[in-house]
Chains A and B, each alone.
Chain A
Amino acid sequence: METYVGSVSRGAWRRWSIVASGTALLCALPAVIAVLPVSASPISAPALRARILASARVPYQGYAESTVNLGLPLLPGLHNVSLLLDGTTDQYVWYRSPSYWRADDVTGTGESDTYADGGVTYLWNYGTNLLTQVTGAEPVRLPRAPDLLPPALARRLLDTAGRADRISRLPGRRIAGVDTAGLRLVPAGTSTTIGAVDIWADPVSGLPLEVEITGRGTTQPVLISTFLELSRAQPDLAAVIPHPAPNVGLTTTRLPNVDGVLNSDGDGDGDTTPFPPQLGGLRRVVLPGSPSGVAIYGTGFSRFVLLPLPRGVGTDALNAAIQAGAGSVPLSGTGGSQAGTQAGVLIRTPLLSVLLVRGGFHHAVFLFTGAVTPALLASSASALVTDLSHRPRFR
């Protein structure tokens, strides 16, 4: 005869085992999906690279998450960029074609959207309740959230790469349900801080789905941008153009006014700054239509930006950097009577280096930044300061 005691404890055991196995099953589900084998694509590295570069016309819509851990201090006037380069950015994107797409940078309480509507860019900010139409070409501008989207970032990085940079294949990954093929790009130059750029793309369409950037000499990626959800359906045209509500503010502006610190006239005094043609061994590159207040030096991954900051912004930035614990670097070779006074303020991050230095007749603040070694920025800054000190009439 069955005793009830047995049946009770057996019942408890049975109940708990049902609950435990059900819970384990639910918890294991994501892990199981993650370890399902990814079909390996036989595509070669150069072919994959070519396919990625040619993928700009592939339509998609999805949800991307970009995480950057640079540890940059918040610099005045560069607030938005600092937020972008430190932390997680969530974006919904509808990409119809290179000139018609929309990306929503969403937060818990609002969103800022970027629309590419033909040749026009619209920026919507829920916080200011303002839809801004940006006119004019924008070859040089501060980074915006859509720049972090895997397709845009991957194509930009591959575009930047030169012949000397080595590419190789990586094992595939399943990203947002797509079996992707991996591509590793290792920059050749010694002056860049980028150790490796890893891209995973759909081997068929070439659409990049994940990008990881690792600093030189480190193993942990500094930047990870990946799709959490992706659909290859082409979004409707109506979905990628703005439909402002009647009470939304509308404004039209030129790009430099959007980015604030990128004022077109150097240090804000109406000066036309003659940038030296060469700094730190890198030649200045002039892009057509770029604002005169910004200079770009170098090619490929060995490239940095020189930006004279408007007077107020410059001093604030310098103070903020010092308060954030930025180190001081002596600038060598300045010579002359100013030798003792010249020192740069350097912010080191695993990827990006930022150097601020005061110089010139007006003691303007110059900002050097790029994914290059601090040494390169220091020698460039030394060269600039020397150059300015030799031209006391520099205005």
Chain B
Amino acid sequence: MIRVELVKLARRPRSWVSLVLLCGLPVLVAVFVAVTHLAPPPGQGPALLSAVLSSGSLYPAAALAIVLPIFLPVAVAVVAGDSIAGEAGSGTLRYLLARPVGRTRLLAAKLVALVVYTLSAVILVAVTAYLTGIALFGAQPVAATAGGLTTSNIAATSLSGSGLSPADIALRTIGAVAFIAVSMLGVGAIALFLSTITDSALGAALGALAALITSEVLVTLNAASAVNPYLPTRYWLAWIDFFRDPIVWRNIERGFAVQGVYVLVFLAASWAHFATKDITS
């Protein structure tokens, strides 16, 4: 069943269009920045974008920062929201279940497909951004040859001002990719749950995005500080901590834990609801 879901995902034109758009935005930004040499001032605009002018090897992280706030959650929410509600809407859900495909198994297969999609989206963005970054900005910092220091293995500057070797950057980028993928799974789980409730794929995706926007509003609200640590987007930006030196793990760990709880709770709720739902679509 997992293979069936993966085939469906892969043969869906929409999956590819969304991936191309996701990878296209950072490329577009990179081209503009490379042509004009106008990066936003450090500390403003997307994180790390200011640093890429001096080193392209940080561009995967900057690209993730560009797609993280809207593009990525929208893409994941649409795919996740489509998983059950889409089948219900097209009328294929009843035939799948009558095949028979166990309801729990169908849900599990959908989840696996969602994880695969999310991971490939994040990894593809990172890979295209790496290629774009190296091609447009080069791998070495511009001022790397200054001073009498051995600079051959320093490819970029961390947020804390220290130098990072290419291997360092690779490991940290992998960490950030994993963190962002897990963060997206939280959204995915919410959309998946809504997808079992409604027969409208669009409704499920929009519902999940509404939950995200609510969370993002509450995160910035001092008055809501009591619930702040439990909001799904609270630790979304913690991936940047991978680019501090030393890596500070506290928020990263919390981020993983919070997303884990959201995924667990909403998957369990999806399962509880879907397993005994009347399929009337």
The answer, yes or no, to whether A128 is at the interface (CB within 8 Å) is yes
Q: Contact at B144–A247, with CB atoms within 8 Å?
A: yes
Cα–Cα distance between A46 and B5 once the two chains are bound (Å): 69
Does B268 sit within 8 A of A, measured CB to CB?
A: yes
Determine the chain A residues whose CB is within 8 A of the CB of B261 once the complex forms: 26
Number of interface residues of B (CB under 8 A): 50
Q: Given A12, A19, A113, A246, which contacts B160 in the complex, CB threshold below 8 Å?
A: A113
> Most chain-B Cβ atoms within 10 A of its Cβ — which of A9, A67, A127, A247?
A247
Segment 19-55 of A: residues with Cβ below 8 Å from B = 19, 22-23, 26-27, 30
Q: State whether B237 touches A244 (Cβ < 8 A).
A: no
Q: Which 10 A-B pairs have the closest CB atoms?
A: A247-B143, A245-B163, A127-B43, A12-B276, A15-B272, A110-B43, A245-B157, A19-B268, A243-B162, A127-B42
Question: With A19-B265, A22-B268 given, is the CB distance from A245 to B154 under 8 Å?
Answer: yes
Return 20 A-B CB contacts under 8 Å, by A number: A18-B268, A18-B272, A63-B251, A108-B240, A109-B48, A109-B240, A110-B159, A111-B159, A113-B161, A124-B160, A243-B161, A244-B162, A245-B157, A245-B162, A246-B143, A246-B145, A246-B151, A247-B144, A247-B146, A247-B157
> Does B100 interact with chain A (Cβ within 8 Å)?
no
Q: Which residue of B lies closest to A242 (CB)?
A: B161
Q: Is the CB of A92 within 8 A of B248?
A: yes
B contact residues around A109 at 8 Å (CB): 42-48, 240
A-contact 0/1 string along B253-281, CB 8 Å cutoff? 00000000100110011011001100000
Task: Give A109 to B54 CA distance when docked, in angstroms.
Answer: 17
CB within 8 Å of A: which B163-204 residues? 163-164
Query: When the two chains form their complex, are residues B43 and A23 in contact, meaning their CB atoms are under 8 A apart?
Result: no
Task: Give the distance to chain A from B148, nearest Cβ to Cβ, in Å.
Answer: 10
- Let me know if B244 is at the binding interface, CB within 8 A: yes
Q: Which residues of A contact B (CB under 8 A)?
A: 8-9, 11-12, 15-16, 18-19, 22-23, 26-27, 30, 63, 67, 69, 88, 92, 104, 106-111, 113, 124, 126-129, 131, 228-229, 239, 242-248
Shortest Cβ distance from residue B58 to the other chain A in the assembled complex, whole angstroms: 12
Task: Tell whether A247 pairs with B43 under 8 Å between CB atoms, given A23-B265, A110-B159.
Answer: no
In Å, the complex CA distance between A164 and B205 comes to: 63
Residues of B within 8 A of A92 (CB): 244, 248, 250
> Which B residue sits closest to A63, measured CB to CB?
B250
Residues of B participating in the A interface, judged by any CB pair closer than 8 Å: 41-48, 54, 141-147, 149, 151, 154, 156-164, 222, 225, 229-230, 237, 240-241, 244-246, 248, 250-251, 261, 264-265, 268-269, 271-272, 275-276
- In the complex, A106→B246 CA distance in Å? 13
Q: How far, in whole Å, are A109 and B239 apart by their CA atoms in the complex?
A: 11
Q: Are A26 and B141 in contact (CB under 8 A)?
A: no
Residues A245 and B158 in contact in the complex (CB < 8 Å), given A15-B271, A110-B42: yes
B144 & A246 in contact (Cβ 8 Å cutoff): yes
Please pick, from A104, A129, A247, the residue contacting B42 in the complex, using a CB distance under 8 A: A129
Q: Is the CB of B271 within 8 A of A228?
A: no
Chain B residues in 8 Å Cβ range of A124: 160-161
CA distance A159 to B227 in the complex (A): 35
Q: In the complex, what distance in Å separates the CA atom of A236 from the CA atom of B33?
A: 39
- List chain A residues, Cβ under 8 A from B241: 106
Interchain CB contact under 8 A, B160 and A111: yes
Q: How far, in Å, is B102 (CB) from chain A's closest CB? A: 13
Is A244 touching B244 in the complex (CB atoms < 8 A)?
A: no
Query: What separation, in Å, do the CA atoms of A11 and B275 have in the docked complex?
Result: 9
Contact status B161-A69, CB under 8 Å: no
Chain A residues near B251 (CB-CB < 8 A): 63
Q: Are B272 and A19 in contact (CB under 8 A)?
A: yes
Q: Of A22, A23, A108, A129, which is within 8 A of B237 by CB?
A: A108
B272 x A12 contact (CB < 8 A): yes
Cβ-defined contact, A245 with B141, below 8 A = yes
A108 to B48, CA, bound (A): 10
Q: How far is the CA of A128 from the CA of B44 in the complex (A)?
A: 11
A69 to B225, CA, bound (A): 13
A311 to B8, CA, bound (A): 70
Instruction: Tell me how far the C-beta of B29 lies from the nearest C-beta in chain A, rounded to whole angstroms.
Output: 16
Residues of A within 8 Å of B163, CB to CB, are 243-246
Contact residues in B for A88 (Cβ distance below 8 Å): 222
For B164, the chain A residues whose CB sits under 8 A away are 245
Pick the contact of A131 from B42, B143, B161, B222 — CB < 8 Å? B161
- In contact, B43 and A107 (Cβ under 8 angstroms): yes
- Whether the pair B161, A126 counts as a contact (CB closer than 8 A) is yes
Are B43 and A69 within 8 A (Cβ)? no
Q: Which residues of B contact A22 (CB under 8 A)?
A: 264-265, 268
CB distance from A209 to the nearest CB of B (A): 15
The interface residues of chain B lying within 8 Å CB-to-CB of A128 are 42
| Residues of A with C-beta under 8 A to B269 | 19, 23
CB distance from A115 to the nearest CB of B (A): 10
Alpha-carbon separation in the docked complex, A18 to B272 (Å): 9
State whether B250 touches A229 (Cβ < 8 A): yes
What residues on B are CB-neighbors of A113 within 8 Å?
160-161
